[in-house]
Structure 1
Amino acid sequence: MIETYYVGAYWGARKEDAGECARRLATVVQLLQPVDPLFASWFKGSKSLKQALTRPLELEVSSLQQYIQRHLMRDDRRQPMEDLGFSFSLWNGHQGGNDAWLSIGCGGYWEQGTNRCVLDAPNEGPGLERVLTTSFQVAALRALATAWEPDWGAAVSSAYRDMIKTKYPDVWPGWVTYFSRRLGRVPPLPAPVRIEPVEDKGTLVILTPERFTATNPAHVALADRVCELLERAGLLQRKPHPAK
């Protein structure tokens, strides 16, 4: 079975209108562009991929704001549910023979909800070897963290996520994990773990210099030890983030 990976950023209730979400979306798209040719351009989600290719994403904030406003969450009667914010997706147009997706939920301020920005990069095809590198995963998560200022985020293998989701249901660490300063301070961690700041916003924890896999016992043992230290530091419990 192929071990698949994704990069996600998550944050609690934060009331932001379509204009504020548009500025953050423009930022994340611009920050992802130099990470890899996969992200040179994006297309708006549509009923079919063929139709999506006729709807390129324009980076003017006013255009993005209009697009996001049309994706305000609604109930079964099509009535607005403003406290749930906006939800939409983007596709990279199969650039270089690879598909990539951005799934975004932002502006929600329901206290039990979660906002997110999830990047699904290719798990097959010609770009796979670039994607499955520490440098790619670090750069992608750094871009998401910088743009959205989440509470936490992770570049993680779905197999490893399944292994730990019961023990750590609120915040699950991955190959690379981001912690906002709002959650607390990252403690000293054992080698070969590396720690990098993200501006003044938070910290990246990078478990291994090579590809992290859930089938490697040494990788899993290292991750378990790091999780123990992070849990002891109070970083793996979800903390309320009051709406603005």
Structure 2
Amino acid sequence: MTDSYYAGVYWPARLEFAEECARRSATFFRLLSQCDEIYARWFEQGDSVEEALQREFMPDYATFLRFFQQQENQLGKDGFSLGAWTGHTEDGRGGMVRLTCGDASGAYPNCCVLYLPWPEVEPKSARVMTTPVLVNVLRAMVLAWEPLFGVVATHEFRQAMRPARDPRGFAGWLTYLSRARGEVPPLPPPVRTEPVEDKGTLMILAPERLSASNPEHLLLGRRVQEALDAKGLLRPVLS
């Protein structure tokens, strides 16, 4: 079975108008494009692949401001949503972004999620699924969105770390915590940490991809998670 990885960052209710969300979006896509060439081109989503491939866009401030001023991308009284993809039509190639920002009510949790390529399907994508590249991807997300929590993992790994309805964060292959959450304690080897400017701490649990099918990976994840839970660092983002 192919593991499907994603990178996601999450932050609480935070009122931001279209202009601020457009600025953050442009920053994110600019930084993401520097991580790997597969993130150089972006397309709006459409009702069909053929339609979507006709909707390439320039990921700059003016474009995002136009998107967020359109009713179809607005959520209630405040908040915005957007979906974009890299135009790779085969399953497991390229990537897709799902974004919700600007919501102040908590009704539409703010997040930015990037679905990552499958290296088993596309060998050239293996270069993306490496620690150095994904550290830069998660850094791009943090610098653009200033979240409380971020992670690179699979849904299967998340489910192994927490019960399905547990809203707390979890320890993934890569894990980010804002400094607003508190100080990260010493963690067991081979975990290493590095700062993301003055925003927070990025934890790299292992140099290789963590999989829910590997008992040693699960054990490492649980040890790290227990250390973070003991300090209350993984409490729900909306709390």
* TM-score, normalization by structure 2: 0.91
Q: Which amino acid aligns with 1:72?
A: Q
Aligned partners of 2:237 and 2:219: how far apart in 1?
27
The SS at the match of 2:133 is helix
Single out whichever of 144-153 and 86-95 deviates more from structure 2. Answer: 86-95
Q: Could you say what the CA RMSD is over the residues aligned between the two structures, in angstroms?
A: 2.0
- State the distance in 1 between where 2:217 and 2:193 align: 17
Determine if the alignment matches structure 1 residue 115 to structure 2 residue 110.
yes
Which residue of structure 1 lines up, in the alignment, with residue 125 of structure 2?
A: 128
Matches for 1:66-81 after TM superposition, within 5 Å: 66-70=66-70, 71-73=73-75, 81=76
CA offsets 1:169-204 (integer angstroms, 9 cap, x no match): 321221001101111111111111010111101110
2:193, 2:179 → 1: CA distance?
A: 13
> 1:12-161, aligned counterparts within 5 Å?
12-70=12-70, 71-73=73-75, 81-83=76-78, 85-94=79-88, 98-111=93-106, 113-123=108-118, 124-161=121-158
CA distance, structure 2, for counterparts of residue 95 and residue 31 of structure 1: 23
Equivalent AA in structure 1 for residue 122 of structure 2: G
Quick check: 153-162 or 57-66, which moved more?
57-66
SS in structure 2 at match of 1:223? helix
Task: Give the drift of 1:153.
Answer: 0.7
How big is the shift at 1:94?
A: 1.4
Q: Does 1:214 align with 2:212?
A: yes
Q: SS state of the match for residue 177, structure 1?
A: strand
Q: Percent identity?
A: 43
Structure 2 residue ranges without an equivalent (≥5):
none
**Which amino acid in the other structure matches residue 87 of structure 2?**
G
Q: Report if the CA contact (8 A) 2:151-2:171 is conserved.
A: yes
**CA 1:4 to 1:186, structure 2 compared with 1: closer, same or farther past 3 Å?**
same
Q: How far has the Cα of 1:72 moved from its partner? A: 0.2
For residues 54 and 159 of structure 2, what CA distance do their matches in structure 1 show? 37
Distance (Å, rounded) in 1 between the aligned partners of 2:11 and 2:229: 18
Amino acid at match of 1:106: C
Conservation of the 8 A alpha-carbon contact between 2:152 and 2:173: yes
Distance 2:109 2:12 in 1: 5
**Equivalent pair of 2:160/2:218 in contact (CA under 8 Å):** no
Tell me whether 1:234 sits opposite 2:222 in the alignment.
Answer: no
Q: CA deviation at 1:135?
A: 1.7
Q: Structure 1 26/135 Cα, relative in aligned 2: closer, same or farther at 3 Å?
A: same
User: Is contact 1:12-1:113 (8 Å) kept?
Assistant: no
Given that residues 6 and 152 in structure 2 are in contact (C-alpha distance below 8 angstroms), is that contact kept between their aligned partners in structure 1? yes
**SS at structure 1 position matched to 2:175:** strand
**Structure 1 position 229, deviation (Å):** 0.4
Deviation at 1:32, TM superposition (A): 0.8
Separation in structure 1 between the aligned mates of residue 89 and residue 139 of structure 2, nearest angstrom: 22
Any conservation in 1 of the 2:10–2:237 contact (CA below 8 Å)?
Answer: no
2:102–2:110: 8 Å Cα contact kept in structure 1?
A: yes
Matches of 2:198 and 2:182, distance apart in 1: 13
In structure 2, give the amino acid aligned to 1:139. Answer: N
Look up the SS of the partner of 1:188 in the other structure. coil
- Contact 1:38/1:95 (<8 A) preserved: no
CA distance in 2, matches of 1:6, 1:59: 21
Give the Cα separation in 2 of the matches to 1:139 and 1:120: 15
Instruction: Give secondary structure in 2 for the equivalent of 1:127.
Output: helix
Matched-pair contact (CA < 8 Å) for 1:98–1:126: no
